[in-house]
Amino acid sequence: MPSETSIANVAMRHLGGNPISSIDENSENARLCKKYFNDAKTTALEEYCWTWAKERAQLAADATAPAFGYDYRYLLPADCISPFWVGKNEVELKPTQPWEVEGDYILTDVEAPIQVVMTCQRTSYARMPQYVAEVIGAQLAVCIAQTRNGSDTSIDRMIAIYDRAVAMGKSKDRRKQNQVQEQQASGFEAAMGV
């Protein structure tokens, strides 16, 4: 099971640094990991609607409408990092029903309530897949590399490692989602006697 320390050690592995025993230990590597951990996690979770951090919500319209441009605004939950899907009655909004994020709100002309699928902050790592830990660790390595007086090539190398981790993570996450959908479909077919 991943932890902040094990994710920090992913970053140390990429950077060629010594592993840490705890993210709270009194070492330069641990201090850097702790300093940039939340920023790296947020950046990594913004990349994709990871199943581990995915949530659904139904939102009511805010009492105050936008000053112009749209008829309604909807306050996003406080732990929302990024909405990836917006719909109504379980159907995604059409291109003729535009929406955008502005500050902490979704703006649209669609009447309440709306539904949102979003990536949210997580504080527990108990069920985090290792591929998400690898993505966060790779982004943490990018953050740390940018603070060191190294060469641009080391930063570019960390960015390339991060990009590969994201691509592999997305692939694994999609396979995981497809397996769940196939299991649900076969369960439905079995219940229907098909």
pLDDT tens, 23-78? 999 999 999 999 999 999 999 999 999 999 999 999 999 999 999 999 999 999 99
Q: In the prediction, which pLDDT does 181 show? A: 56
For the chain, give the longest Cα–Cα distance.
65
CA distances to 18, 35, 43, 90, 135 from 161, in Å = 18, 21, 15, 37, 9
Q: If you average pLDDT over residues 5-18, what whole number do you get?
A: 96
Evaluated on CA atoms 18, 125, 41, 175, the torsion sign reads: positive
What's the whole-model pTM score?
0.84
Instruction: Tell me the backbone φ, ψ of residue 9, rounded to 5 degrees.
Output: -70, -25
State the Cα–Cα distance between residues 38 and 73, nearest whole angstrom.
28
First to last CA, the chain: 38
State the Cα–Cα distance between residues 59 and 70, nearest whole angstrom.
16
SS3 content of the chain, % helix, strand, coil (to 5): 50, 20, 35
Q: Measure the CA dihedral 85/87/90/91, to 10°.
A: -100
Q: If you average pLDDT over residues 5-13, what whole number do you get?
A: 97
Q: In the prediction, which pLDDT does 1 show? A: 84
Q: If you average pLDDT over residues 170-188, what whole number do you get?
A: 72
Q: How is residue 53 annotated by DSSP?
A: G
Q: If you average pLDDT over residues 108-115, what whole number do you get?
A: 97
State the Cα–Cα distance between residues 162 and 157, nearest whole angstrom.
9
Q: In the prediction, which pLDDT does 5 show? A: 97
| Cis peptide bond upstream of 77, omega within 30 | no
Cα angle 17-133-166, degrees, rounded to a multiple of 5 = 95
State the Cα–Cα distance between residues 184 and 38, nearest whole angstrom.
35
Q: In the prediction, which pLDDT does 123 show? A: 84
Tokens 């369960």 correspond to 187
pLDDT tens, 136-167? 999 999 999 998 766 677 899 999 999 999 99
Q: In the prediction, which pLDDT does 112 show? A: 96
Q: In the prediction, which pLDDT does 187 show? A: 54
Q: How confident is the model at residue 189 (pLDDT cuts 50, 70, 90)?
A: low
Q: In the prediction, which pLDDT does 188 show? A: 47
- Residue 124 neighbours by CB under 8 Å, 6+ apart: none
Tokens at 151, concatenated: 């060469």
